[in-house]
Each structure stands twice: as C-alpha cells, then as structure tokens.
Amino acid sequence: MKVCVMTLGCKVNKYESDALIYNLKLKGYESTDQLGYADVYVINTCAVTQEAEKKSRQMIARCKKYNKNAKFFVCGCASQKNSTQFLEKGATYVSGTAGKIKISEYIDKLAKNDKRYLRKHDRTEKLPKDYEDDLFAEQTRARAYIKIQDGCNNFCSYCIIPYLRGRSRSRGIFSIINEVSSLDDSIKEIVLTGINVTDYKIDGKPALLTLLTELDTFNIRLRLSSMEESLISEDFAKGLASLNNFCPHFHLSLQSGSTQVLKRMNRHYTAEQFKKSVETIRKYFSHAGITTDVIVGFPGESEEEFQETVDFIKEVGFSALHIFIYSSREGTVASKLYKDLPYEVKKRRSEVLIKLNQTLKENFIKKNKFGHVLVEEEEDGYFIGYTENYIRCYIKDNGKLGEGIIDQIVKVKIEKPFRDGALAKIIK
C-alpha cells in the first residue's frame, strides 16, 4: 500500500508530516511527500488564512486526479476548525491538530480491510494540556527541523491558531537532545521550531537559552525560527553571543510599526520597545540578519498608521520582510470588533512594502562581504544555500566544484545582489 502525505502551512506541520511518513515506513508502507498515485492520501491542513484553508480543501480534489478511488485522511488546523468541510469532500477519516500519529493505526486497519474503518470517521480530539512527544521525524536533508514546542498563549486579535493548537506546551529537553544526538553526520544545521518558540520552558520557567547552550555542544549550526520581541533581553543576547554554533538570524515578528495598531492586535509591546530589542541584538551581533512579518490592512488601519509602519521599517532596516495581507478569520477577536478594509487598499499597501522589501534586501547584502553557506541544492548552473545570517547565495558552477559541495558548508565572498539573494564566490 502506498501512502502520500501532503502538507500545507508551517514548518511545524512539515515536521509532523515527516514524522508520520517515518512512522509509516517503519510499519512497512511505501510513504512519500511527493504528490502522485497512492492508495491513501494524508492531508495535513492549515488555517492561518482563508486562502490556506481553501487550499487545504482543494488538495483532496488534486489528489483525486491521481486516484479517484483512494482513501483520504485529513488532519491539522483546518480540520480542527471545521471537520465537516472535509467529510463533505470525501474524506474517510478526519482528525485535528492532536493525535496525528494515530492516523497510522487507522491506516493499518484499512490495510487489513476492517470494514469498521471504511466508513467515515470524525476523530477530532480535545486539545492536550501536555506536549505530545510521540512524533519523531526522519531527517534527510542537511538542514533539519526539530520541533520543541506547540500551542500559543498570546491570543493576538487576528490569529485563530491558539484556538486550534491549544495552550503553549514544551517538549522535554532530554527528548530534544536525544533526537539531535541521533542525527546523521550529514546534518549540518538544525532549526528549532514550534508554534511559539519564544515560550519554550522547563518546569514552567523560560529555558530557550538553556536548551541552546546544551545543543551548542554538538558540532552543528543552530538556528531559531520565528520569535517574539519579549524574548530579547540583554542577558539572552549576551548568552547567544557566547555560543559557538548559533546562527545570527533573528526572525522577529513585528506585524505593525504603529503602536496603536499593535494595541488593537493585542501584541503586548510598543514600536519603541521593539526597536530597543533590535538595538540589543545589534549590540552583540553587528551583522545579524533581522527579518520580520508585517500584516498590511489590519481593520481600522489608517493611512497615517500605515505610514508609521513604513517609516518604522526604514528606521529599523530589516534584512527582509514577510508581507501578509490581513485575512479575517471567523472566531477571532478582530473579526468581531473591527470592520475590514477594502481589498484594494490592502493590496496597494502590500505593493508599497514589496517594493521596500527589495531595497532592504539589497542594502543588507551590500553590508556583508563574507559568509559561510550551507549548500543545499543545484539549479540553473548555480549552487544555492544560506549564510549563517540568512542571505540566500547563488554560487556559479565553474565546472570544478562538483556535486560534492551539496550539503557542505563553504566560505564565500558575497559579490552583489542577484535574483532573490546574492551572487557569491567560494574562497579557500
């Protein structure tokens, strides 16, 4: 029996899907994340925006083009939010964000033609209070993602994820260390990921720096996924600077440069506080890559407030922006309290930031002369990878490099902006 696991959304979903694929392989099934013919399709869904939820529903139709008689198993945030929408699309089994590993048990029943499992099942469960430490992914690339946390307590007014993932809960430090210890020597970098990595705790106390210090004993680059402004203190930044393997890339979520908009978003900091956190980072990491998320067109955002965001972004000088057009989500505070802006307004503001983002990326690249690139792929005559501060580099294949540099870390001279990153040359 062949099982195809399709993933939508965040890196946490991807880690969980990889863990499910690994579990199915151990059971003897042919399992893959490549879309094609399969007897069973597992769709790990996303609900962060309306568009993500729509794509999750559409994935069933995409899979049916390969095998209309296949069985469909659906899990994730979109099915946690509304399981019926997938049962109506023909799913055999629907669960939510909890108990994803149980899907493999149901596939076992299906493989044995147990007729009780051929009818439709809605298995969305109550969200857990403790971290479910039953997912272990097989890492097959030089950059590995390690899940350390789940859930979120922030309840930003625009975000539905805390309602779908539950309250914040952290993975045990020994479990994380054991997974990292088991990694193959080919793994050169790990990215610690979660729904809110900032809230990683041990015995109820903040412990992200403790975890990083333990992992620094491994000869492997360490990178953090998205983090919150509240994480950045003098002691935290100083502690990171003392590590040997930490990659100075900070994806620090901003969302808006207007303090009034941040207040309506329930973000718990001001623009000035955010700026001080950036200054603290740069005090210890002069060439840090500082990327961010920005939501444009939040309900009630005036032209003046949007301009505050533009001015703030220029003042901070981020290395890159991830720009999102506000999408109202039923069940969030923002959807109940604030009137949405016209799409044309949101689209125009998005285009302003897209243009600004290009300038920011080029300016940051020009400030960097050298870097160490983890080469991950070859495409169109270039070897491609990221520096420690997250500049995407294109290294021209001069015919002498060979595929042997893929999955290796090489020192490069950064020459100039190129495509969506920089042109670089290997130096000895």
The answer to whether residues 305 and 256 touch, using CB atoms and an 8 Å cutoff, is: yes
What mean pLDDT do residues 368-395 have? 96
The mean-pLDDT minimum among 65-79, 134-148, 244-258 falls in 134-148
Residue from 122, 152, 150, 121 nearest 134 by CA: 150
- Distance (Å, whole) CA 210 – CA 201: 9
The mean-pLDDT minimum among 90-94, 349-353, 358-362, 395-399 falls in 395-399
In CATH, the architecture of 139-247 is: 2-Layer Sandwich (3.30)
The answer to whether residues 224 and 200 touch, using CB atoms and an 8 Å cutoff, is: no
pLDDT, the chain, mean: 95
What pLDDT does residue 115 have? 63
What is the three-class DSSP state of 340? coil
The answer to whether residues 291 and 249 touch, using CB atoms and an 8 Å cutoff, is: yes
- Distance (Å, whole) CA 421 – CA 316: 20
For residue 57 the two structure tokens come to: 């529903």
What pLDDT does residue 135 have? 86
**CATH 3.40.50.2020 corresponds to the domain 249-367:** no
Cα of 130 vs its chain's centroid, Å? 21
Kindly tell me if the per-residue pLDDT of 319 is higher than 90.
yes
Strand partners, 189: 143, 221
Alpha-carbon dihedral angle through residues 113, 115, 116, 122, given to the nearest 10 degrees: 80
What mean pLDDT do residues 114-120 have? 63
The answer to whether residues 374 and 143 touch, using CB atoms and an 8 Å cutoff, is: yes
338 confidence band (pLDDT: 50, 70, 90): confident
416 confidence band (pLDDT: 50, 70, 90): very high
Beta strands (DSSP E) in 78-209 are 93-94, 121-122, 143-147, 149-150, 169-170, 189-193, 201-202, 205-206
Instruction: Please indicate whether the domains covering 139-247 and 249-367 agree at the CATH topology level.
Output: yes
Helix (H) or strand (E) holding 417: strand 409-418
Kindly tell me if the per-residue pLDDT of 119 is higher than 90.
no
Residue from 174, 206, 171 nearest 192 by CA: 171
Kindly tell me if the per-residue pLDDT of 401 is higher than 80.
no
- Distance (Å, whole) CA 63 – CA 266: 39
| Assigned CATH topology for domain 2-122 | Rossmann fold (3.40.50)
**Cβ-based neighbours of 186, under 8 Å, separated by 6 or more:** 142, 407
Residue from 315, 310, 302, 320 nearest 359 by CA: 320
Q: Are strands 40-45 and 2-7 parallel, antiparallel or unpaired?
A: parallel
What mean pLDDT do residues 168-183 have? 97
Kindly tell me if the per-residue pLDDT of 215 is higher than 70.
yes
**CATH 2.40.50 corresponds to the domain 370-426:** yes
What mean pLDDT do residues 170-180 have? 97
**Domain ranges in the chain?**
2-122, 139-247, 249-367, 370-426
What mean pLDDT do residues 83-112 have? 90
Kindly tell me if the per-residue pLDDT of 306 is higher than 90.
yes
Kindly tell me if the per-residue pLDDT of 118 is higher than 70.
no
Kindly tell me if the per-residue pLDDT of 246 is higher than 70.
yes
**Cβ-based neighbours of 359, under 8 Å, separated by 6 or more:** none
- Distance (Å, whole) CA 407 – CA 387: 13
What mean pLDDT do residues 128-148 have? 92
Query: What is the percent of the chain with per-residue pLDDT over 70, rounded to a whole number?
Result: 98
Kindly tell me if the per-residue pLDDT of 1 is higher than 70.
yes
Query: What is the percent of the chain with per-residue pLDDT over 90, rounded to a whole number?
Result: 89
What mean pLDDT do residues 226-250 have? 97
What pLDDT does residue 399 have? 75
What is the three-class DSSP state of 181? helix
Q: Rg of the chain over CA atoms, in angstroms? A: 22
Kindly tell me if the per-residue pLDDT of 95 is higher than 90.
yes
What mean pLDDT do residues 89-102 have? 92
